[in-house]
Structure 1
Amino acid sequence: MVDIERLSTAEPNFWERLRAKTAWDNSAEAGVEHAVRDILHAVKQRGDAALLEFSQRFDQLEAQTVAEFEISAERLEAALAELPSDQRVALEQAAGRIRAYAERQKQESWQFQETDGTLLGQRVTPLDRVGVYVPGGKAAYPSSVLMNVIPAKVAGVPEVIMVVPTPAGEVNALVLAAARIAGADRVFTLGGAHAVGALAYGTATIPAVDKIVGPGNAFVAAAKRMVFGVVGIDMVAGPSEILVICDGETDPDWIAMDLFSQAEHDEQASAILIATSERYLDQVQASMERLLPTLEREAIIRQSLAGSSAFVLARDLSEAAVVANVIAPEHLELSVAEPEALLAEIRHAGAVFLGRHTPEALGDYCAGPNHVLPTSATARFASPLGVYDFQKRTSVINCSASGSARLGKTASILARGEGLTAHARSAELRVEAEK
């Protein structure tokens, strides 16, 4: 029996129950903060020596120097060459689509000139160096390599440093091949909080970066949060989420498997279905009962469904959209007859998948848009990872003499109103020079 809670928007305590169901419990991250703080301090103070110590302790990797952890360009090339042809073709096709989508996100510098000759503008430049964290070992994600490295290279980042843990020396060929295809400049077999510390502070071997992106466990998430400010980060992601709104006309087997596709990530993942028919919810549950035993990660999915997942009965699709906007899910499927019309009612979601033939899984791998998405309702204010995350904007001001005199009068008044006399005098000197 699949254990998944059912809610109804008609219930008087619906919103309270929904909040309890979707609240992210980040106690795991909080529980490791003390250990992570000690690890980061050790890396900051002792550099490579600390990396060698932690790699031996956590990943059973013995080395005399951190340089031994770097994977050569030749080894990356060999990993790609040795891949089965179908895997190589799939990686290259996915990379091509991700790159083509990212190219459309590039922001360009701009400027305009006022009538007195004053020039105003914005200069867009890439970050100098970026660190990409990729989960490794048995849970290896070549798709994460593509999604994090390609936008950085499209943005023009000269150097992308990738770190990937290899517990007990277990290296995943697909991850190495993906690094070669995506264009990672250097790859190190390092993981955990100490890898984040190395990227943030730099060591004799690992260069410090300007921004760290990529998913990881509770130790990695806590470390990224702690080094923010020293470096930029993409986000601190919570468990994976999927919300499906269905009008009851999609094959229930399809919807069941779509929900499973996120529930299989881990026990804290959230899979929610909103439908307008109790009968349809019954059909999807029946599909779940039949299909779940056929999946390798059945135990994880069962725990996910029993935890943060739910079936929601709504009065109509517009009400379903209201619920979706409150949840602000990472992934939102609109499996309805007119998805574009319903999309107009959606304000908060990391990525939206329109229609019955667009499962979320396509977005995870090869549709083109990035799969690094805001979770835990942060889609209310955050966006998917993109080229813009690897570009920075600099304001440009070039005043003509007459423009400086004109603006100086305004600046002087405001500066004196704030009691900042030197500001006022700095502007007034240019005003006086034009008299």
Structure 2
Amino acid sequence: MTACWIDDPAFTASSPFGPQTLPYGVVETPDGPSVAVRVGDHALPLRPIAAEFTPDLRELVTAASLDPLLAAGRPAWSVLRARLRELVTAPAAPAGAVLLPLAETTTRLPFTVGDYVDFYSSRDHAENVGRIFRPDAEPLLPNWTHLPVGYHGRAGTVVVSGTDVVRPHGQRRGAEGPEFGPSTRLDIEAEIGFVCGGPVAGRVSTSSAPDHVFGVAVVNDWSARDIQAWEYVPLGPFLGKSFATSISAWITPLEAFAAARVKVPDPGHPRLDYLVEDQNWGLDLHLEVVWNGTVVSRPDFAGMAYSCAQQLAHMTVNGATVRPGDLFASGTVSGPEKRQRGSFLELSWSGAEPITLEDGSTRTFLEDGDTVTITATAPGPDGSVVGLAEVTGTVVAAP
């Protein structure tokens, strides 16, 4: 890349947030919330440089959230991304441009979350959880290899990275019947989320799914395992999941992952027609989970059994619609090795195998004051790296 006006050593093609990435977010400015792009370790608010865009794009970049951009659709997404690449790689700064250091910048939840669906698409995770929760039964139920298992979550408790997570109350199984109180087995789930946009549509095919997926973000689906274990039969997760889901403050556009697309694993039997892909929409993503400063897991996303296109096709096959702002998550990303497990339920094997952190302390599940940060990267064009911004949260004691 030739010299450009952005003086930030983290804004290079060899860094996760160089010009090959350009994720969108919303930052606080003296003039109020502004749509911005991340350039290295800085945010570039777009409202001050709105004159650099055509009138139709100007309406999108001067908004206080990503909502208008999500609704605009893929042609507008592509044109805006191309124009942004021109602007951030130019030798001279656009008139009015201001770079805000991320360390000194407040970010907001960048879009209004519509419906939220969480899937369960890692075979290794599903088998591990099956062995822990149902030790006397087959780890996978018969439907698992035929459809993307999922549940509807609570959109109102999706929060932006950096938001504290309050330990939830709930019912759990006790020695003499149900007990009530703060969760004692609070957990994380390292996931990848897909932010939807474009026209409202139902029965979305796998081939048209990219017209309805704006971008990708890291998600932490906080989970109260003791509440979950007591409530989930027969209808699945409810209060054990709905208290908080954290999402990155920066949404990396789907277009940034052109070099990271891979084929999903063969399920061992034919797919039903609506789940067959004519393009590969699996993603070669590499996650990292950090617990109180210690790297405890590095899951790989390429082994997920269903792609985002297959998940969206299944989510809408019954006629349910997808709308701008809808969010769906992959489910916990886990691999076949212990160091690739994306939840502490699996890492500690339900508490039987404590995890030692770098400070010498041990953990099975989350304690008050613990902080978890999850990041991810993907291969980019010409040997570059595409970044997915961190999602972080600290556990606060139950009130």
| Coarse TM-score class (shorter-chain normalised) | under 0.3
Instruction: Give the number of the structure whose residues are more often strand, by fraction.
Output: 2
TM-score, structure 2 as length reference: 0.25
TM-score, structure 1 as length reference: 0.23
